[in-house]
A and B are shown apart, each in its own frame.
Chain A
Amino acid sequence: MDAQTNVRTEIEQLARIHGRNRTALMPILQELNRAHNYISEDAMSCVSKVLNVPRAEVYGVATFYSFFSVKPRGKYVIRLCRTVSCAKQGNYHPAIAALLEELGIGFGETTPDGLFTLERTNCSGMCDQGPAMLVNEDVHAHLTEASVRKIVNIYRHKAAERGKLS
């Protein structure tokens, strides 16, 4: 099967779960975004056909929400909270410096091995326990220089374990 057929099969399957109405658009995009860490152009045009929603509107939705991406991203998307309660903590800047060094990339970039993308996010609701960041759907609070390095290595290890299994 070629890539396009794969996408089509996947989206047909998602439509069986979430339905073929417009209300299924967000859940389907969320599943695609979660499975591939981004929503490809092929996927968008296929979703457009399956749900009968204009392509421009699928694109409009896919580019509106900050957790969606229409460009490839790493396996783990790190979202560091930049809002004031987190950003004013003494550990905030040291944690960022450690994160940048550990990953060897800047914000908005993906590591060459395709494992991590680093982003900033607005208030993640962990203001009492900042600095905080999300890694995909997990939340990590009370970040320090040491803890961010440890967290990154846990995900590296996880990915390596999964690599061995597949």
Chain B
Amino acid sequence: MDVKAVRGFVGNKLTFDDVSAKDGMKIASEMAPEDVLAIVGASGLRGRGGAGFPAGKKWEFARSQPGTPKYIIGNADEGEPGTFKDRLILTDHPELVFAGMAIAGRAVGAEFGILYLRAEYGWLREHLENALDACRAAKLLGKDILGTTGFDFDISIRMGAGAYICGEETALLESLEGRRGDARNRIPFPVQAGYLGKPTVVNNVETLAWVPCILVKGPSWFAAMGTRKAPGAWLFSVSGDCKRPGIYEYPFGTSLRQILSDVGAENAKAVQVGGASGTCVPPSEFDRTLTPGDLATGGSIIVFGPGQDMFAVAENFQHFFADESCGQCIPCRVGNQRMLEAIQRMRRDGLDEETEHTLRQLATTMNVASKCGLGQMSSRAFISILNNFASELPGRNA
């Protein structure tokens, strides 16, 4: 399959287009592992999968663990509805992702990397295997990388088999170990006991691709983009009712209104930020900014235009969660099913006060008592739609 045929539209200039993986690798190979760690730490790079944990800290924890071997996992299980930035990165710049993994390996003291690719992106596999071969031929992977004795790192690709939950890092590890994608309890964290019980770093594809950029352009260049609390820029996946859906790069702290104007969606009725597990934002809040602490996101922006039935949206998302709950804990397994039934009923019959109270309680229970992020986040979309668009339900008038 020709992967470039479905590459999609890119709305503005991407930093990744200007950085060579080889330059980043060269700098890392000439540096002591501690210095690589210090640079990534100083840049303030945060995880791009949604949780936003500082990458430097994660690497430091893994480095300080006694167990060997250690592993670097590239999380390419991009499953959050409305997210497709990793698809573009893997299409255009897989070598940046591989360089990020190898540099992480150097910093942490790991020689093995695994890219966990979601089954839905199976069509990218051949393209990625070719890119791996090209990196090996260019001495960017393998033994004594770029002639540096003892800098050994190689990557294999492992496939998912269709499970949203496997984007959660501990479920991903279970899947790699040949198990159902049931999220694990933490502690221990993967940096302590991850893949096969060994210290493991799991980083998102985009996080990894930023690493060689930071080495080439310097941590202060990176930190100067974005805000003080959240340095750097970010790739956003924009879809839905807009004129120019596609991938856009913005520094942290950019307002939602700015993005809507760039993508041609000034008349939006609502915007779902952060995918199915994110928040539905009404027009009165379009001046909010995309940054941890305000609208945190894994980069998914879905625009809803005038006329969109917002409870149909809630139903679609709820269907997603009822389907994707792994089933191991009750609040999530039963809660999501009950929530789906309730949304279907209220679209037909409306919602009385007592039922609304019960549903809000159920949402809180799922949020508090679910084992992992899936169940903890799954009621957010519905609750924000209920808070902002309840007047659309039958029997209610604005």
- Chain A residues packing against B (C-beta within 8 Å): 21-27, 29-30, 33, 51, 53, 57, 60-61, 64-68, 82-85, 87-88, 121-130, 134, 137-139, 141
Q: How large is the interface on B (under 10, 10 to 19, 20 to 34, 35 or more residues)?
A: 35 or more
Other contacts beyond A57-B179, A126-B6, A126-B87: 11, CB < 8 A:
A23-B176, A25-B179, A53-B178, A65-B160, A65-B162, A83-B316, A84-B302, A122-B81, A128-B247, A129-B6, A137-B123
Which residues of chain B from 30 to 65 have a CB within 8 Å of any chain A CB?
none
Interface residue B187 (Cβ < 8 Å from any Cβ of A): no
A27–B1 touching, CB < 8 Å: no
Which residues of chain B from 200 to 253 have a CB within 8 Å of any chain A CB?
237-241, 245-247
Q: Which residues of B contact A124 (CB under 8 A)?
A: 120
Checking A123, A125, A129, A138 against B1 with a beta-carbon cut-off of 8 angstroms, the contacting residue is: A138
**What CA separation (Å) do A40 and B324 show in the bound complex?**
24
Checking A26, A65, A66, A123 against B158 with a beta-carbon cut-off of 8 angstroms, the contacting residue is: A26
Interface residue B80 (Cβ < 8 Å from any Cβ of A): yes
Which residues of chain B from 239 to 274 have a CB within 8 Å of any chain A CB?
239-241, 245-247, 272
**What CA separation (Å) do A26 and B123 show in the bound complex?**
18
A128–B237 touching, CB < 8 Å: yes
Interface residue B349 (Cβ < 8 Å from any Cβ of A): no
**What CA separation (Å) do A90 and B121 show in the bound complex?**
25
A123–B79 touching, CB < 8 Å: yes
Checking B78, B176, B240 against A88 with a beta-carbon cut-off of 8 angstroms, the contacting residue is: B240
- Chain B residues packing against A (C-beta within 8 Å): 1, 6, 8-9, 78-84, 86-87, 118-123, 125, 158-164, 175-181, 196, 237-241, 245-247, 272, 276, 302, 304, 308, 313, 316-317, 319-320, 323-324, 326
B240–A85 touching, CB < 8 Å: yes
Interface centre among B161, B163, B175 (most CB of A within 10 A): B161
B324–A64 touching, CB < 8 Å: no
Using A84-B82, A127-B82, A130-B239 as known contacts, say yes or no to A121 and B162 having CB atoms under 8 A apart: yes
Checking B81, B159, B163, B238 against A30 with a beta-carbon cut-off of 8 angstroms, the contacting residue is: B159
B320–A123 touching, CB < 8 Å: yes
Which partner residue on chain B sits nearest A132 by CB separation?
B6
